């Protein structure tokens, strides 16, 4: 009786079904949980303009100045943090009313951009950009110029809006 | 002969994995996987725990040693051709183990949450997100959402200390059990393996000691430029993408896929039975690893010839040792290492002073426009000096006011009377060591000699000069810094000093005022003893 092939086959299938069923019941919530944050805004980023200092500190004609874009409040998963550095921006003022801000996030793979006195320079893969933020052909892998950030003056304060763009594309799309 | 040769590596690899497990368990007992705690806990182990640097160094460099020994192991087997059936499963498990080691390296490097690990990871996942179709999802799954943060660390930590070790242990058991089935162990081989293992460990230990463990850069900062470089075993890819120009993303993704595919396919495509027939495959493997070696060396060569890079790296090492010293001295705030400097005494006030005040007020400033502010500012002696020569060099001498008729004239009184008057003014600061009798005499003198222009009652402006109620107190400084041109202070036309009530918050102005009050009783020696900013 123990050698009955039908019986053995049934036992095998039943055992595997029970084991597999338990496995599946565990696997579903585990995978769901681990993938949970994927579609979520787990780290909030303010989309409103962010104060970066008094307007008169940015003198007309002065060289590019690096500022930290600091979010007053960021919710990062379970914690709320204050004064969180989102990233850097390079700002200058060409005339009283004409302001310019460039994101210091390299459009290639997102490293923070430095300034060597003449050019913008990405320390990771050597992309160089002119003083206007345009890519210098042949210098590195960046496919587009530095990304502009909206900048304005309100009540005597400079305000920059933080935007992240898709990396490593020739066109500029919001991420 | 050859089969004994390749098996020399076995014990060394097991030993290195055991070293990783033991040091890893010890490090995990300290590690705090959060954006605010990660760097701090690593710095704590590195700089404050007994032999922490050694354990951390062993953990980091044993990974490199595994790559080297496993690489030698792999080339030896490929040259010997012992990856062929029935041993091909052993070979594939071995390749899988090497892949796991690379994922170990990537997931471990980001955990330190310093500039080096943070930016290396950002770039690596930037490359991964270039994968067609799935790229964006891969990145989101890896970092746990839309942006780097707490979940990035908890995920890589879980991967690094639970998922990968379990897979590795299973892989190692399978690899060894299957290999043993084909080639039984003998004691003579075991002894030689043990000897090689001891040599490998001695080299590792010596290297770790010579490097004082491994580096830890300044904490991750999404705004600060950093010369990020991948770990050395990824350097060949770094160089390859550099050479590939516009095809770099293709190179970065396709090259590892091609190399991996080639190694996986070897047992299937290599049908040669004699050394001669196998020559193309042997040459292929040796050539491939030579190329990887050459690219690696070229990448380091390019960096070592870059003087600007060397300068920046030296600076970032200096910054790292400074911030780590601060972490040892003050601890890292619970809000994270970005706030580490806030713990330096009067940090906020002193850095504001450096940026906003020093140019016009520091003794050695070339464009000084106001009175010197320094140790002893606002003491009795300071007031006596002022009363004797309001437009003296250290006082209002550099101001525009000094050149006008509005400027205050020297007070012509005897030294005793001046001393009493100074006591009155000094008393306004709220200092606890005021001599009451002198102050009272000073008040009488003030009422006779000064009230034509000044007032000294709280909140009352002078008729044509500053009100002096509370002069030198913290509140008075806060108010003055906020608006020196207020009628109660200098008035609209007598001061060049800008108002700071729009630019600086009340908290900042109060902090500056606190620093100025501290300066009154400080000596130059006290100032020199302050922690540098």
Task: With a cut of 90, say whether residue A145 has pLDDT above it.
Answer: yes
B224 with A116: Cβ contact below 8 A: no
Kindly report, residue by residue over B94-109, the tens digit of the pLDDT. Answer: 999 999 999 999 999 9
Nearest to A123 among B222, B227, B246 (CB): B227
Q: Find chain A residues with C-beta within 8 A of B502's C-beta.
A: 54, 156
What token pair was written down for B89?
A: 């499963």
Q: What is the pTM of this model?
A: 0.88
Please tell me whether residue A138 adopts helix, strand or coil conformation. Answer: coil
Q: Find chain A residues with C-beta within 8 A of B151's C-beta.
A: 37, 42, 76-77
Spatial contact of B349 and B512, defined as CB atoms under 8 Å apart: yes
Kindly report, residue by residue over B444-502, the tens digit of the pLDDT. Answer: 999 999 999 999 998 899 998 999 999 999 999 999 999 999 999 999 889 999 999 98
Question: What does the pLDDT read at residue B352?
Answer: 95
Kindly report, residue by residue over B360-391, the tens digit of the pLDDT. Answer: 999 888 889 999 999 999 999 999 999 999 99
> 């005793």: which residue's tokens?
B416
Query: Omega before B86 cis (within 30°)?
Result: yes
Q: Find chain A residues with C-beta within 8 A of B127's C-beta.
A: 109
Size of interface A-B (CB pairs under 8 A): 121
Burial of residue B64, with CB atoms counted within 10 A of its CB: 0-12 exposed, 13-18 middle, 19 or more buried: middle
Judged by a CB distance cut-off of 8 A, whether residue B526 touches chain A is no
Domain ranges, ordered by start, for chain A:
5-39, 50-160
Question: What does the pLDDT read at residue A2?
Answer: 57
Q: Name which of B182, B159, B204, B183 is nearest B18 in CA terms.
A: B204
B222 with A85: Cβ contact below 8 A: yes
Please tell me whether residue A128 adopts helix, strand or coil conformation. Answer: strand
DSSP state of B246: G
Question: Residue A49 and residue A33: Cα distance in Å, rounded?
Answer: 34
Nearest to A35 among B141, B222, B226 (CB): B141
ipTM comes to: 0.89
The nearest CA of chain B is from the CA of A117 a distance in Å of: 13
Taking each helix axis as running N to C, give the angle between helix B52-80 and helix B275-304, from 0 to 180 degrees, rounded to the nearest 10.
150
Question: What does the pLDDT read at residue B10?
Answer: 83
Alpha helices, H only, B353-434: 358-361, 380-388, 415-427
Question: What does the pLDDT read at residue B1?
Answer: 38
The secondary structure of A90-118 as a DSSP string is: EEEESSSS-EEEEESB-TTT-PBPEE-SS
Q: Name which of A56, A105, A50, A53 is nearest A73 in CA terms.
A: A50
Spatial contact of B350 and B515, defined as CB atoms under 8 Å apart: yes
Phi, psi for residue B473 in degrees, rounded to 5:
-85, 165
Judged by a CB distance cut-off of 8 A, whether residue B141 touches chain A is yes
> 């991750």: which residue's tokens?
B220
B145 with A43: Cβ contact below 8 A: yes
The nearest CA of chain B is from the CA of A18 a distance in Å of: 24
Phi, psi for residue A71 in degrees, rounded to 5:
-75, 130
Provide mean pLDDT across the span A12-41.
Answer: 93
Produce one character per residue of B275-291: b if its CB has 16 or more CB atoms within 10 Å, e if not: eeebeebbeebeebbee
Question: Residue B304 and residue B144: Cα distance in Å, rounded?
Answer: 36
Question: Residue B108 and residue B56: Cα distance in Å, rounded?
Answer: 12
Alpha helices, H only, B428-471: 436-449
Q: Report the percent of chain B where pLDDT is more than 70.
A: 98
Q: Name which of B519, B240, B514 is nearest B371 in CA terms.
A: B519
The nearest CA of chain B is from the CA of A97 a distance in Å of: 19
Chain B: residue whose CA lies nearest to A103: B223
CA quadruple B371, B372, B376, B381: dihedral sign: negative
Phi, psi for residue A44 in degrees, rounded to 5:
-75, 145
Judged by a CB distance cut-off of 8 A, whether residue B144 touches chain A is yes
Provide mean pLDDT across the span B399-410.
Answer: 91
Q: Report the percent of chain B where pLDDT is more than 90.
A: 81
C-beta neighbour count of B163 within 10 angstroms: 14
Start-end of CATH 1.20.810.10 domains in chain B: 7-228
Chain A: residue whose CA lies nearest to B124: A109
* Range B7-228 classified under CATH 3.90.470.20: no
* Range A50-160 classified under CATH 2.102.10.10: yes
Spatial contact of B131 and B141, defined as CB atoms under 8 Å apart: no
B228 with A87: Cβ contact below 8 A: no
Contact map slice: B 281-310 vs A, CB within 8 A: 308
What token pair was written down for A94?
A: 């060409």
Alpha helices, H only, B362-413: 380-388
Kindly report, residue by residue over B25-72, the tens digit of the pLDDT. Answer: 999 999 999 999 999 999 999 999 999 999 999 999 999 999 999 999
Confidence of residue A57 (pLDDT cuts 50, 70, 90): confident
Question: What does the pLDDT read at residue B4?
Answer: 54
Question: Residue B437 and residue B6: Cα distance in Å, rounded?
Answer: 96
């Amino acid at each position: 009786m123990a050698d009955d092939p039908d019986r053995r086959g049934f036992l095998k299938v039943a055992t595997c079904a029970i084991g597999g069923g338990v496995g599946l019941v565990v696997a579903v919530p585990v995978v769901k949980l681990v993938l949970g944050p994927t579609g979520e805004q787990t780290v909030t980023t303010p989309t409103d303009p962010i104060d970066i200092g008094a307007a008169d500190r940015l003198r007309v004609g002065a060289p590019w100045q690096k500022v930290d874009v600091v979010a007053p409040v960021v919710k990062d998963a379970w914690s709320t943090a204050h004064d969180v550095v989102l990233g850097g921006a390079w700002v200058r003022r060409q005339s009283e009313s004409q302001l310019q801000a460039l994101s210091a996030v390299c459009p290639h793979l997102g490293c923070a951009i430095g300034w060597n006195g003449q050019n913008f320079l990405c320390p990771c893969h050597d992309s160089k950009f002119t003083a206007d933020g345009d890519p210098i052909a042949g210098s590195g892998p960046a496919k587009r110029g530095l990304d502009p950030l909206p900048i304005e003056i309100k009540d005597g304060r400079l305000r920059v809006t933080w935007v992240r763009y898709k990396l490593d594309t020739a066109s500029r799309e919001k991420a | 002969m050859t089969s004994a040769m390749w098996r020399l590596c076995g014990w060394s690899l097991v030993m290195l994995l055991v070293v990783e497990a033991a040091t890893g368990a010890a490090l995990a007992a300290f590690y705090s996987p959060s954006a605010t705690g990660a760097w701090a806990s690593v710095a704590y182990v590195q700089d404050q725990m007994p032999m922490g640097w050694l354990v951390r160094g062993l953990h980091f460099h044993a990974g490199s040693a595994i790559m080297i020994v496993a690489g030698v192991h792999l080339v030896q087997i490929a040259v010997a051709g012992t990856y062929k059936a029935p041993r091909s499963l052993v070979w594939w498990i071995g390749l899988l183990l090497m892949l796991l080691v690379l994922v170990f390296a990537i997931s471990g490097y980001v955990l330190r949450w310093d500039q080096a690990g943070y930016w290396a990871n950002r770039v690596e996942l930037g490359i991964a997100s270039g994968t067609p179709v799935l790229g964006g999802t891969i990145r989101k799954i890896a970092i746990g959402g839309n942006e780097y943060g707490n979940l990035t660390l908890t995920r890589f930590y879980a991967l690094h200390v639970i998922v990968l070790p379990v897979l590795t242990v299973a892989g190692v058991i399978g690899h060894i059990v299957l290999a043993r089935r084909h080639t039984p162990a003998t004691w003579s081989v075991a002894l030689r393996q043990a000897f090689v293992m001891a040599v490998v460990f001695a080299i590792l230990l010596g290297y770790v000691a010579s490097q004082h463990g491994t580096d830890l850069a300044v904490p991750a900062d999404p705004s600060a430029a950093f010369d990020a470089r991948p770990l050395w075993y990824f350097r060949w890819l770094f160089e390859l993408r550099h050479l590939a120009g516009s095809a770099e993303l293709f190179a970065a993704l396709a090259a590892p896929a091609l190399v991996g595919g080639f190694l996986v396919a070897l047992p299937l495509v290599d049908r040669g039975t004699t050394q001669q027939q196998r020559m193309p495959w042997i040459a292929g493997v040796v050539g491939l690893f030579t190329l990887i070696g050459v690219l690696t060396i070229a990448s380091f060569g390019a960096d070592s010839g870059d003087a600007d890079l060397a300068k920046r790296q030296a600076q970032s090492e200096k910054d790292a040792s400074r911030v780590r010293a601060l972490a040892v001295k003050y601890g890292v705030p619970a809000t994270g290492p970005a706030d580490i400097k806030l713990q330096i005494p009067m940090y906020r006030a002193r850095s504001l002073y450096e940026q906003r005040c020093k140019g016009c007020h520091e003794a050695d400033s070339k464009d000084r426009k106001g009175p010197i502010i320094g140790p002893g500012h606002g003491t009795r002696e300071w007031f006596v000096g002022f009363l004797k020569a309001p437009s003296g060099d250290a006082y209002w001498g550099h101001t525009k006011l000094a050149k006008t008729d509005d400027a205050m004239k020297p007070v012509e009184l005897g030294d005793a009377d001046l001393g009493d008057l100074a006591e009155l003014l000094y008393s306004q600061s709220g200092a606890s060591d005021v001599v009451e009798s002198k102050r009272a005499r000073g008040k009488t003198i003030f009422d006779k000699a000064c009230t034509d222009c000044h007032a000294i009652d709280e909140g009352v402006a002078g008729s044509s000069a500053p009100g002096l109620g509370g002069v030198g107190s913290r509140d008075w400084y806060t108010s003055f810094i906020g608006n020196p041109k207020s009628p109660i202070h200098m008035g609209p036309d007598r001061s060049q000093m800008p108002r700071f009530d729009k630019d600086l918050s009340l908290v900042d102005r109060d902090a500056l005022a606190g620093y100025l009050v501290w300066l009154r009783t400080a000596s130059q020696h006290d100032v020199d003893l302050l922690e540098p900013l």
